[in-house]
Amino acid sequence: MSLRTLALAGLALASGSVPAPAAPPDARVLAVHCHTCHGVAGDEAMIPALEGRDEGELLERLRAFRDGRADATVMTRIARGYSDDELVRIAAWFAAAPAMKAPR
């Protein structure tokens, strides 16, 4: 941390104007990254669609990836980057999204 950053932090503390902690990102912001591989509306042939799937099933799969109980090429690494609360919100978001078919 630079001396300037420390000085500014000290001034903020001394003035009582410490910013509030940032709000956690909403589920849509967390879930949008999943579309990189899963596509939108399941348009990636080898990777399953997520929209409209059972929330409990999605959450269990995400937790299994995170905890190393399910084999995957990258999902085990990706899932470890999310807190349990974030996984719950991602599963709920996809479960609430309407199931769609990819255009052919």
Is residue 1 predicted with pLDDT exceeding 70? Answer: no
Instruction: For residue 79, count other CB atoms closer than 10 A to its CB.
Output: 21
- Full set of structural domains in the chain with CATH: 24-96 (1.10.760.10)
Q: What is the pTM of this model?
A: 0.69
Give the pLDDT confidence score for residue 21 in this predicted structure.
55
| Rg of the Cα atoms in the chain | 19
pLDDT digits (tens, 9 = 90+) for 18-76: 555 566 678 888 888 888 888 766 555 678 889 999 999 999 999 999 999 998 889 99
